Amino acid sequence: MPDKKFIRLPEVMALTGCKRTFIYQKIQDGDFPKQVKIGVSGCAWVLDEIESWMDARIAERDAKI
């Protein structure tokens, strides 16, 4: 199993260019990776899952060309 890296919301926002509201709405819609609970009140995302989500958006764009 490859090493996994957790990233927090500010890094998710920086990587994707998406705002907080968009991210949480897409999670509710089932269209964005869900966060992982990493403590009592902390959560993070798996970097590989965010990168896969971005790759899928690029693939969707390229399929329409």
Q: What percent of the chain has pLDDT over 70?
A: 97
Q: Output the average pLDDT for the chain.
A: 95
Q: 52 lies in a domain? A: yes
Q: Does residue 1 belong to any structural domain of this protein?
A: no
Instruction: Tell me the pTM.
Output: 0.90
* Tokens encoding 27: 């999670």
Whether residue 27 lies inside any domain: the answer is yes
Query: What is the Cα–Cα distance from 50 to 32, expressed in whole angstroms?
Result: 8
Task: Give the range of the structural domain holding residue 25, as residue numbers without chain letter.
Answer: 6-63
Q: Give the Cα separation of 1 and 61 in Å (integer).
A: 30
Average pLDDT over residues 21-36: 98
Q: How many domains does the chain have?
A: 1
Answer yes or no: is 19 within a domain: yes
Closest by CA position to 6, among listed 41, 56, 33, 43 = 43
Q: How many CB atoms lie within 10 A of CB 34?
A: 12
Average pLDDT of 3-23? Answer: 97
Question: Domain with 52 in it: what CATH number?
Answer: 1.10.238
CB 56 within 8 A of CB 49: no
The answer to whether residue 6 scores a pLDDT higher than 90 is: yes
